[in-house]
Amino acid sequence: MSSTKKKRPKPNPDSSSSSLKWVMEPPQSLFPSKQDFLRLITVLAIASSVAITCNYFADFLNPSQKPFCDTGLDSPESLPDSCEPCPSNGECHQGKLECLQGYIRHGKLCVEDGDINETARRLSKSVENRLCKDYAQLLCDGAGSIWVREDDIWNDFDGHELTKNFESDNAIYLYAKKRTVETVSGYMETRTNSYGIKELKCPDLLAEHYKPLSCRVRQWVSNHAAIIVPICALLLGCTLLLWKVRRRRHLSIRIEELYHQVCEILEENALMSNSASGDSEPWIVASRLRDHLLLPKERKDPEIWKKVEELVQEDSRVDQYPKLLKGESKAVWEWQVEGSLSSSKIRKKADTSKLKSTESRDNKFDQQSTLKTEPKALIF
């Protein structure tokens, strides 16, 4: 058996020397250039600054809150630094915060719920209206109630329109009712009756604002009657006195005016009857003169013409006597004296009318004489 030995290839001295040279002196393309290295550093710096900035704003906007301390740790000295104190109106357990009924969480605090507060406020106003209106009606008319049981107020809440959005067994609804009763009890008068039931009453000063205006006026008058009655009587007496004085003055002026009109009419009638062309009677029936001068509303007051008759009777220039007219006796007035200013004016009017009538007759006579003489002139 013959064995043949393979010959190993002889190492190439050129290849070994080139690999050794690559290790000892790597090519320049293996490492980045100086410009690329600067660019890489710039990108890394910008990315780091952006990351730091975002992390800062994230911590600013959403700060990491510490867990809340349990509610049982009331002493500030016993609170560790690793937890936040539990706020008022809240309960903390195992680092979590739960606000009481009627409060909502706002950050680290528990604030009152606005809807519940508004509902409680409006319900309180409704209770106030009921209590104070009933008490005001009692003060005015004697009908109504003064004290109202607290249970009745609670029962009224069940049918109120403001509580329709709440269920009767809802904790929020019960809390709103509780807040309402607490608010109302804060300014209403309260007492406990003989049965141990709490009752409420509207204060007197607040009930005054719920009284109607007519009730306020009536009560004010009754309270000050001792002063108002004498003042009203005095004012009424002064008013009547002034009215009588004014009426007497007006009647006096009117009576004098009527008297002067009667005298002028009588005097004019007497002068016209005495004139040459006068065909009227010198007298005038007094009743006809009265109906001619008085106004319709003045005829209802016999006192006016009575005063005029008294003045006429006192005047010596007027003669009064009865006269039978159509089978009935009438009182007539006749003017007896001439010479007044009005009579002279009437005479001037009468003289003027006479002069005009004479001139008209003369003109007619002249016209007739002219017509008679004109034919003679034509003959010649």
Phi, psi of 272 (to 5 degrees): -65, -35
pTM above 0.95, yes or no: no
Residue written as token pair 């004085």: 245
- The stretches in the chain having pLDDT less than 50 are 1-7, 59-60, 62, 169, 341-344, 346, 354, 365, 369-380
Contact 127, 187 (CB under 8 A): no
Task: With CA atoms as reference, report the closest residue to 32 among 22, 24, 40, 43.
Answer: 40
How does pLDDT run across 346-367, given as a tens digit for each residue?
455 555 554 555 555 555 545 5
Contact 303, 379 (CB under 8 A): no
pLDDT score at 222: 86
Report the DSSP pairing between strands 328-335 and 318-325: antiparallel
Residue 50 neighbours by CB distance under 10 Å: 10
Phi, psi of 281 (to 5 degrees): -80, 150
pLDDT score at 274: 78
Amino acid at 328: E
Structure tokens at 105: 């969480």
* Terminal Cα-to-Cα distance of the chain (whole angstroms): 223
Residue written as token pair 């005029």: 308
pLDDT score at 40: 77
Structure tokens at 289: 């003169």
With 0-12 / 13-18 / 19 or more C-beta atoms within 10 angstroms meaning exposed / middle / buried, residue 61 is exposed
H or E segment at 286?
helix 286-293
Structure tokens at 283: 């007298």
Q: Cβ neighbours of residue 21 under 8 Å, at least 6 residues apart? A: none
Amino acid at 63: P
Residue written as token pair 């550093």: 41
The sheet with strand 198-201 has its strands ordered as 148-149, 198-201, 189-192
pLDDT score at 373: 42
The β-bridge partners of 98 are 91
What is the pLDDT of the chain when averaged over all its residues? 75
Q: For the CA atoms of the chain, what is the radius of gyration?
A: 63
Structure tokens at 130: 């009921």
pLDDT score at 273: 83
With 0-12 / 13-18 / 19 or more C-beta atoms within 10 angstroms meaning exposed / middle / buried, residue 278 is middle
Phi, psi of 2 (to 5 degrees): -115, 135
pLDDT score at 371: 44
pLDDT score at 281: 82
pLDDT score at 332: 92
The β-bridge partners of 90 are 99
pLDDT score at 84: 79
What angle separates helix 171-187 from helix 150-158, to the nearest 10 degrees?
140
H or E segment at 115?
helix 114-141
The β-bridge partners of 95 are 68
